[in-house]
Every structure is written in C-alpha cells, then in structure tokens.
Structure 1
Amino acid sequence: MESLAIQTVNAIWWIVIVGIVGVGYHVYGRAVVEQWRMRRSLKKQGVKGPSPSIFNGNVSEMQRLQSEAKQFYSGDNIISHDYSSSLFPYFEHWRKQYGRIYTYSTGLKQHIYINHPETVKEFSQINTLNLGRITHITKRLNPILGSGIISSNGPHWAHQRHIINHEFTHDKIKGMVGLMVESTVPMLSKWEEMVKRGGEMGCDIRVDEDLKDVAADVIARACFGSSFYKGKAIFSMIRDLKIAITKRSFLFRFNGFTDMVFGSKKHGDVNIDALAMELDSSIWETVKEREIECEEAQKKDVMQLILEGAMRSCDGNLWDKSAYRRFVVDNCKSIYLAGHETTAVSVSWCLMLLALNPSWQIRIRDEILSSCKNGIPDAESIPNLKTVTMVIQETMRLYPPAPIVGREAFTDIRVGNLVVPKGVCIWTLIPTLHRDPEIWGPDANEFKPERFSEGISKACKYPQLYIPFGLGPRVCVGKNFAMMNVKVLVSLIVSKFSFTLSPTYQHSPNHKLVVEPQHGVVIRVVRQ
C-alpha cells in the first residue's frame, strides 16, 4: 500500500510538472513565434538588426555594451555634450552597424529603432489612438505614474489630455509669472547669503537640489494651491520611488516569462508597493483638503479641473469611488513628477552651459536690464527676452529633458514607407537627432545659441525634429508652462549672479526618466 501511495504521489507530481511545462510552452512558445513573425515582416521590408537568442533576445548584448560603456567613461571628466554613446551604447552601436532604422528584441518584445530624419518626420505626424505608450514600460512605472496622462492610452488618455490641456493655455501661463518669481526669491536670498559669507571669492553652490525645490513649489502653488513645504513629503516619496524604479535600466531589463513571473517589487531597502500606497494616501489626503477649498473658490486650477473630470471619467461610472480616486491621484502624480523634474533639470544644464560660456551671461544680463523693470521679468517683458530664449532652446537641444520617445503599435501602423506590425515598440533617441550634422550642420555638438536667432524654423534643416518635449499628439502638455518657468528662473539667477563651473564639478549625465547630472551641477558664484 505504501509503495502504491508513493507511486500515486509521484504520478501526480509528474502530471503537475508536465502541465506547467505544457502551459509555459503554450504561452511562451506562442509569444516567441509571434516575435519571430514580426521580425520576419520587418526584415522583408529591408529592416535589419542583430540576431536575437530565443529566450533573451538581444538583452545580453545590450547589458554587455552598457557595462563596457560604463567602464570606458568612468573617471572621464571631459565635458562632452554627446552623451548618447555612454547612456545608450547599444542604440549607437547598432546604428553604426545597421543604419538609422533597425530592429532588435528583448525576449518577448520586438522593437524598431528609427532615427532617419524623413521617417521620424512622418512618425511625428501620425495622429491615432492606435499608437501609444509602451505597455510594459508603463506597467513598470505604474507605482510612480499610475494611469495618468503620461502613461495612459486610447480614449482614457484623450479624455485626460482634454481636461489638463485647458489649464496650460498661453493666457493662463502668463498669469503665473508673478507666482514663479515669488517662488524663486527665497532661493536667491539663500544664495546671496552664501556668496556674502564667501567674500570676494564667492562660493560653490550645488544648484540642482535647490532648483528642484523651487520648481516643485511653483507646480504645487500654480496647479494645486499649496506650497512645496506643505507637500514636501509627497515630493520626497516621488523622488524615492523614481530612484528605486530606475535603479536598473527599465528600457531593457526584462526577460520574457521569467521576468513576468518572478519580477521583484523590492529594490534595495525600498519596498516599491508599500511606498506607492503611502504616496497615494498622502496625495488623496491633499486632494480632499483641496476639494473643500475648491468648493469655496471662484477660480479653477488644475486640481479643480481634475476633480470635475474624474466625475465624468471616460468609463461613465460616476459613482465608482475607487475609479474616481484612481483618476485623481494618478493625474496628480503625473503633474507632480513631470511638472518639476523637467524644469529643474533643464535649468541645471542651462547654468552649467552658461558657466562654461560667460559671454552669454553678459548678453542675458544686458537684455534683462533693458527689458525688465528692476531686473525682474514679468508677463509683458518675458516675450522680449530673445537671448534668454535662444540659450534655453540650445540647452534643450543638447540636453533634452526626456531623451527617448517610445511608442507601441496597437494595430499595424504605417510609418513613412514602413508598415510596423501590431505589438512592435518604436523608439527614437532625441539627443542623436538633436546632434545630427545632417540636420544641424558640422557644429552640431557645440553650444551655439545664435543658431536659434531666427527661431526654430531657421535653426536646422528639419525643424520638426527639434523635439525637446517629445513629438506628435503626445507632446508634453505642460511644455509652455515649463518653458516659462525656465525663462523666469534663468533670468533671475543670471541678473543676480556671475558664475563659472566649480573645479569640483563632475560632468556625469545620467538617465533616470530624465537625463540629469548624476553628481549635481556645482557652480562658483559671485555677487553680480
């Protein structure tokens, strides 16, 4: 009897094992076959690429190239604005081998890389809900973005964009200039005290952290009626989540079936799910407070519009409290994150470039003195600051806030002469486009703001390919708000101080959702 029982148990185990293998083969095998079908379709259209392995695609080669680039560029403090080869070495490596359009695989996902000017131009003009954010990336970023305007797709995205776009009209942004100045003044006072203590030699200031605080204060006050200090815990949690989620590359760190089953929700000492729940709760508490304030207020801000939009959300379920909460919280997270990250990083890089090129500081300072009353920009003088605008545009050419455009085809999509199969992810590397000699001329790697003296349309061969805020219908909804904020910050800082790069500055562009200075931007500041 005992022998029979053992045989029965063994038989059951074998049945379970065979069943698991069978299901895994059925699910994974079909997915692999589908990837090969996509690859064959692209190959027939003349799109080549590196040969993938069955289970891992080209991930191993990508990781190897990334590791080699890290070793090669470590300890190199030469200030080069061409950082594509260090941050995205696999894209640059394959571009040299296969040209401006090629395909590669990351296990269960097939990708196509496009950096051909004419094809990118065609890509930017596609206006369909069947082309959207890449689903496996948005899933990985869900704790920090949820299903807000940045990460959603289809009618849900279109509905959210309609709501939020209303708050970022030109007239409304002009009305926020005074608020932007008010948020910047405390930082300027802090720097003045530091410079005063430093004497004639001035002092070294790491500007990026202070700029993040100012940018956060602006977005909180302009869009949510609260100060940065009131929402400091929220911004702190967002930054912690961003660091945890992007600790490893989220662009290719997935390995098909094993990643889907065994993917970790913990990075180091940070439990992502727990921190995300805490963030959601904190935002919701702020929302409920603001909801009461909005009932009494006459003027609507972004928060009020989000609350109203949530009540008529696209699923039509007006009484689903969980859906209402999710809609509101997710969009608050999107605005909190994008609203201050892009501004702070752009101003940091701008100050770095101005520190290297002090003659442009003088030109900006002269312009501000002649255009702005008491050297303080306002809604009327900002449009006259042509030099400031040129410098910022050139900064965003060399250091676009978000360096990559990624889209997923939800049906077969025609891009130029190509038909991209359903399920394929399309990638465009913005820094490579922004430094392409064919588009910008032989000085494409140099800081030359004068190239924008007659506007973007005359600055390059393909003005549609100047895309610091993304391209197509999904261009950043807050780009005008961000540009205005950057203009105010740069104008105020340059009018108050002269500065050079500190000898301690380490040039280290690092990709963490945005391209930011890994070791900060340290400038040596003297009182103007």
Structure 2
Amino acid sequence: MKTLNYPHQQSPGPRSDFNKTDIHEVWRLEELKGGRMALNIWWTFMMAAAFAASVVGSVAELLWLRPRRLERRLRAQGLIGSRYRFPFGDVRDDAKLFHEARRNPMPLSHRIVPRVAPQLHLAWELYGGESKVLFTWMGPYPQIMIMDPEMVKEVLSTKFGNFEKPQTNPFVNYVISGVGSYEGEKWAKHRRIIGPAFHLEKLKMMIPAFSTCCDELISRWEDYTGSRGVCELDVWPEFQIFAGDIISRAAFGNNYKDGRRIFELQLEQIDLLVQSFQSLYIPGLRFIPTRKNKRRKEIHREVITLLKSMIKQRELAMRNGESNSDDLLSLLIESNLSYFQERGAHSPNVGLTTEDVIDECKVFYFAGHETASILLTWTLIALSMHQNWQARAREEVMKVFGQNKPNIEGLNELKILTMILLEVLRLYPPATWLVRKTCKETKLGKFAFPAGVLVALPIILLHHSREYWGEDAEEFNPNRFAEGVSKATKNQLVFFPFGWGPRICLGQSFALTEVKLVLARILQRFSAELSPSYAHEPCLVLTLQPQNGAQLILKKL
C-alpha cells in the first residue's frame, strides 16, 4: 500500500488499517490549528489597535484636550492672553517676530525690547493693559508672564516643591549642568559645598590670575594701536577671549593650557547648541548618529577626559599637602572634602562625586565666560555712546589708582564705575527672562495655577518698565543707582540681573570683580568711541549679545 503524506504532519508510515476516519481526524486538527492562528492574528491586531488608540489618545490629551482645559481654567480666573492654536501655540509666530526683528539694525538708543524680545513686547501691547499677569503659549503649554513684583518675589523665593526649572533641549546638558539645573535637596547640597569657593576672601586669591589676563589684553591692544596710537577694533571677540582666559586661569591655575583647551571645546559646543535651538527639537533626535551629534559626543568625551585628569591631579596634590588652593577647582575640591568630613564618611550620598565636580566646572565656564564678556562689551559700548560718563569713570579710576595696577580694595571705592555697571545690567541683562514650571497646584497672588504651567519672569521688561523706573527708563542714567539698588526704583524686586532669592548667582562677585578690574585698566590706557561701522544690533542667542560685533575706535592715552 502507498504511504500518504499530509501537510504539516510527518508521514504516518505504512498502515494496514488506514481508513477515512484518519483523514477526518487530520482535517479536524488542521482546522484547530487554523483557528488558533486566526485567534493569534486577531489578538495581535487588537493589541496593535489598542496601542495605536492609546498613542492617539495621549497625543490628543497633550496637544488638544489638556491645553483647552487649562485655557478655560485660566480665563475663568480673569486672566487674558492669546488663544491656543494646535499644535504649536505661539511658537511659529514668535519665530517670525524674531526673524523680522533681526533683519535690520535699530536706531542708536537703549530702547531695545522690541528688537531683543519682540514676542514679549507684542504680548504686553496686545494683552497687558492694566494687568500685570497674562499668558501666551509655548507649544501646548500655557506660559504665564508676570510683571507684579510681589509675585516675582514669591516665585524666586518659594520653598522647594512648587516650582522647578522646565525640561529643556537635552543638548543643553553638554554645556550647562550642575547646581543651576538641580532642584530640592540635591540643589541644596551642591549650593552648600560650592558656596565657600566664591567667598570674598577666596576671591582675593584669584586677583593675580585676573591681573595676568588684564596685562595680556592691554599689551595686545597697545600693539593694535601701534605708533599711531589709534585703531578700530571689534571688542566683542576680544572680551570673549579675555573672559575665557580668566576662567581658565582662575578655575584651573597651573592647568591653564588644559583649561584653555576646554574653553575652546565648550565654545564649539555652545555653537552647536545654538544651532539646535534654530529648529524644532524632536525627542530622540540626539540618539541619531548625525555628523553634529557625533561631534557633540566627541567634544563631551574630550572635555570629560581633561577634567577628570585635572581633578585627580588636584586630589593627589591635596593628599600630599602640595595644593595652594588659589583656584576654583582646588577650592571646590577642598570644600567638598570638608563637607564630607563634617557629615561622616559612612553616610550615604555625602559630598560631590567626580561627575558632580565635572558638571560644576562646566557651569564655571559657561556662566563665568558669558556674563563677563557680555557685561564688558555692553559697558564699553555704553561708555562710547555717553562720553561724559566715560570721562567721569576715568577720572575716578585715576584718582583711586593713578597709573598703578588696580587692587581689590581700591575696586570697592569705584562708586561711579559701580553705578555704570548696574545701569548696563539694567538695560542689557545677560539673561532676558527666567522660566519656571509649576510641579503642583500653586497659588500666586489671587491666581491658582495647575501643575505643568510655565511661569515666565520677563527680566528685560521689568528692567525697562516706566512704571517702576520712571519716564527715563530707556535712557542711560547711572545716577539712579547713586544711593544703591534699593533707592534706584520704586520696588527693588524689579531688578534682578543675577537672579534673586536663594538661587541668586553664586558667581556674581566673581564676575563684577573681574569686570571692574579690566575696565579700570582699559580706562587708564585708552579712550573709546563708536566706530562708523558699528551697527547697534543687540540680539538674544543664549544670552544678550551684539549680533554683528562691537566695533570701536580705541585711542591710546
């Protein structure tokens, strides 16, 4: 008898009793298999459909349902602002406003808000009126803008748990991390450890590093002026180089060359970060191996390697009693060691890890470099625009120091220069606004904001407000600070170029000392005036910068 073979089944072999019953059994089994396969396909389809429905539901909740609920709730409390537009809110319109504002230079004046922050300027013109609170849309998130000083105070001095820094483009972590980005107990611990490194007595030890960098800058400018004693110079890149040298020497001392290399790498990283802000960030984009992403990671790895090497060298020097503690890195490691010893070596999570110290070093670079270079540039531009104040500042410097090199004690006597710097910080704050995010239901003034709402403090609007500063709010008038910040305005809480409250910038004294020192040296040796080629084009990149440089005519005295 022939052997019959059936699909999906081994040959049953020769059987003398094979009959039709066997065939029906095989068919029955095949039907069961087909049923199970159909059932599996059906379940797979249903699971995929459920997942797709879940994703669609989540997207709909994020981009439509939740924004509409939040908008109704805000308007029910009497708040006014723009209407939510799916899915970008006001982002596209804001981008167009920025593009238009930067196309042409503005008149030579200090009325810079329409150019620097056109979206804030327009929002307040449209919705502000008598109100000191309004809202716009950052994508699907409502952004509450606050011009009320008491509410500003509450946001900046609030206890942990109400506000946090919003999540940003993850590329930012390659440039800015550390204490400024932390919250809660982690922030408090880092702040306690880092604070002693910026004490005034510690700052005095860095004056030789400041002075060395000043010598190099003055010598370079004297070479530029040559035998004629005059030259045209773009001081913006000059001050960027100078501030980088200061940070490299003050932060890393004898490792200055490695510090200089880190500075160059971080400048490139900042440039890549700025490029990422010029287009819509897509979650997960950083994991795609594009040319720019590869370069970001290469820079990050090299910076980490250099910093780890320097940290290990300092720790070894301290163990051998060889550290002189005259730079920020040594002071930070020393403070960390003291904190560790005070709280017991066996306690969990005591002190900073090597990775923590690396993150703080990156903060030194960005915050220290940006603040100093920007403040120096806008101050010299302002003094070139207002020759009477340049003359007064020079007279004061010569009275205190003559032709001698400035020292930290004498810097404290420069009242006019201090007034000038405060006025420049008012008109040209390095950061134009601060943004926080509510992490739970939060009461501010008479309003209740739900979790997930952005709260924006428009520094530049408050600094230029006629209501708080008077009719000359957009004029350069350092005299308003003659009796200090508290008497300069109707409310001290509308002036916070370095932040305010428990999170005020730790490096404020460092930056102001550095800037005063180099300005005093410049005023001793040079006079400055605007070049005919200078175009007044302040613009916001990450900080408030001159869009196409700061061309001045320098004359050797």
Specify the alignment match of 1:302 in structure 2. Answer: 328
Provide closer, same or farther for how the CA distance between residues 109 and 281 of structure 1 changes in structure 2, counting only shifts above 3 A: farther
Mapped pair 1:104 → 2:136: yes
**Partner deviation per Cα, 1:435-459 (whole Å, 9 max, x = no partner):** 1111111111111111111111111
Deviation of residue 140 (structure 1)? 4.3
Deviation of residue 162 (structure 1)? 1.1
AA aligned opposite 1:435: H
**Partner deviation per Cα, 1:61-96 (whole Å, 9 max, x = no partner):** 3233333334xxx23352232332223222221111
Indicate the larger mover: 163-172 or 79-88: 79-88
Deviation of residue 14 (structure 1)? 5.5
Provide closer, same or farther for how the CA distance between residues 67 and 516 of structure 1 changes in structure 2, counting only shifts above 3 A: closer
Mapped pair 1:481 → 2:504: no
1:132 to 160, 164, 170: 164
Specify the alignment match of 2:24 in structure 1. Answer: none
- Aligned equivalents of 1:39 and 1:327: distance in 2? 40
Provide closer, same or farther for how the CA distance between residues 169 and 293 of structure 1 changes in structure 2, counting only shifts above 3 A: same
Provide closer, same or farther for how the CA distance between residues 262 and 506 of structure 1 changes in structure 2, counting only shifts above 3 A: same
AA aligned opposite 1:22: A
1:45 to 77, 84, 89: 77
Specify the alignment match of 2:240 in structure 1. Answer: 212
Q: Secondary structure at the match of 1:79?
A: coil
AA aligned opposite 1:367: E
Report if aligned partners of 1:39, 1:103 keep a CA contact under 8 Å in 2: no
Deviation of residue 310 (structure 1)? 6.3
Deviation of residue 122 (structure 1)? 3.7
**Partner deviation per Cα, 1:127-179 (whole Å, 9 max, x = no partner):** 43532222235x34112123x01211121111111111111122322443343
- Aligned equivalents of 1:280 and 1:48: distance in 2? 47
Deviation of residue 44 (structure 1)? 2.4
Deviation of residue 343 (structure 1)? 0.6
AA aligned opposite 2:87: F
Q: For residues 25-424 of structure 1, what are the structure 2 equivalents within 5 Å? A: 25-32=56-63, 33-70=65-102, 74-99=103-128, 100-136=132-168, 139-146=170-177, 148-197=178-227, 199-200=228-229, 202-226=230-254, 228-249=256-277, 253=280, 259-262=282-285, 269=292, 271-295=295-319, 296-299=322-325, 301-307=327-333, 324-424=353-453
Provide closer, same or farther for how the CA distance between residues 194 and 418 of structure 1 changes in structure 2, counting only shifts above 3 A: same
AA aligned opposite 2:71: R
Q: Secondary structure at the match of 1:427?
A: strand
How many equivalent pairs are there?
A: 515
- Aligned equivalents of 2:47 and 2:355: distance in 1? 39
AA aligned opposite 2:359: D
AA aligned opposite 2:151: T
Indicate the larger mover: 356-365 or 34-43: 34-43
* Gap regions ≥5 residues in structure 1: none
Deviation of residue 227 (structure 1)? 5.8
Provide closer, same or farther for how the CA distance between residues 437 and 7 of structure 1 changes in structure 2, counting only shifts above 3 A: same
Deviation of residue 348 (structure 1)? 0.7
Provide closer, same or farther for how the CA distance between residues 34 and 304 of structure 1 changes in structure 2, counting only shifts above 3 A: farther
- Aligned equivalents of 1:300 and 1:41: distance in 2? 55
Q: Secondary structure at the match of 1:510?
A: strand
Mapped pair 1:461 → 2:486: no
- Aligned equivalents of 1:511 and 1:40: distance in 2? 32
Report if aligned partners of 2:197, 2:328 keep a CA contact under 8 Å in 1: yes
Report if aligned partners of 1:129, 1:154 keep a CA contact under 8 Å in 2: yes
AA aligned opposite 1:285: S
Report if aligned partners of 2:146, 2:456 keep a CA contact under 8 Å in 1: yes
Report if aligned partners of 2:210, 2:514 keep a CA contact under 8 Å in 1: yes
- Aligned equivalents of 2:143 and 2:171: distance in 1? 17
Report if aligned partners of 2:325, 2:331 keep a CA contact under 8 Å in 1: no
Provide closer, same or farther for how the CA distance between residues 266 and 394 of structure 1 changes in structure 2, counting only shifts above 3 A: farther
Provide closer, same or farther for how the CA distance between residues 268 and 163 of structure 1 changes in structure 2, counting only shifts above 3 A: same
- Aligned equivalents of 1:187 and 1:129: distance in 2? 46
- Aligned equivalents of 1:500 and 1:506: distance in 2? 13
Mapped pair 1:445 → 2:477: no
Report if aligned partners of 1:115, 1:433 keep a CA contact under 8 Å in 2: yes
* Gap regions ≥5 residues in structure 2: 1-6, 8-33
Report if aligned partners of 1:122, 1:415 keep a CA contact under 8 Å in 2: yes
Taking structure 2 as the reference length, the TM-score comes to 0.83
Deviation of residue 260 (structure 1)? 2.4
Provide closer, same or farther for how the CA distance between residues 211 and 232 of structure 1 changes in structure 2, counting only shifts above 3 A: same
- Aligned equivalents of 1:351 and 1:369: distance in 2? 18
Deviation of residue 402 (structure 1)? 1.4
| Shift >4 Å, 4+ stretches | 6-17, 261-270, 308-314, 316-321
Q: Secondary structure at the match of 1:110?
A: strand
Deviation of residue 485 (structure 1)? 0.9
- Aligned equivalents of 2:48 and 2:81: distance in 1? 37
AA aligned opposite 1:272: R
**Partner deviation per Cα, 1:193-239 (whole Å, 9 max, x = no partner):** 11124x15x10112222222222222233233246543222111111
Specify the alignment match of 2:544 in structure 1. Answer: 515
Report if aligned partners of 1:242, 1:512 keep a CA contact under 8 Å in 2: no
- Aligned equivalents of 1:307 and 1:18: distance in 2? 55
Specify the alignment match of 2:556 in structure 1. Answer: 527
- Aligned equivalents of 2:108 and 2:48: distance in 1? 56
Q: Secondary structure at the match of 2:179?
A: coil
Asked which structure has the greater CA Rg, the reply is: 2
Deviation of residue 35 (structure 1)? 3.7
**Partner deviation per Cα, 1:342-395 (whole Å, 9 max, x = no partner):** 011100110111111122222111111111153422122111111111111111
Specify the alignment match of 2:25 in structure 1. Answer: none
Provide closer, same or farther for how the CA distance between residues 391 and 267 of structure 1 changes in structure 2, counting only shifts above 3 A: farther
Q: Secondary structure at the match of 1:219?
A: helix
**Partner deviation per Cα, 1:30-80 (whole Å, 9 max, x = no partner):** 43444444333322222222111233233233233333334xxx2335223
Question: What is the RMSD computed on CA atoms of the aligned residues?
Answer: 3.2
- Aligned equivalents of 1:262 and 1:485: distance in 2? 39
Specify the alignment match of 1:24 in structure 2. Answer: 55
Deviation of residue 261 (structure 1)? 4.7
Indicate the larger mover: 458-467 or 260-269: 260-269
Taking structure 1 as the reference length, the TM-score comes to 0.88
Report if aligned partners of 1:375, 1:495 keep a CA contact under 8 Å in 2: no
Provide closer, same or farther for how the CA distance between residues 106 and 170 of structure 1 changes in structure 2, counting only shifts above 3 A: same
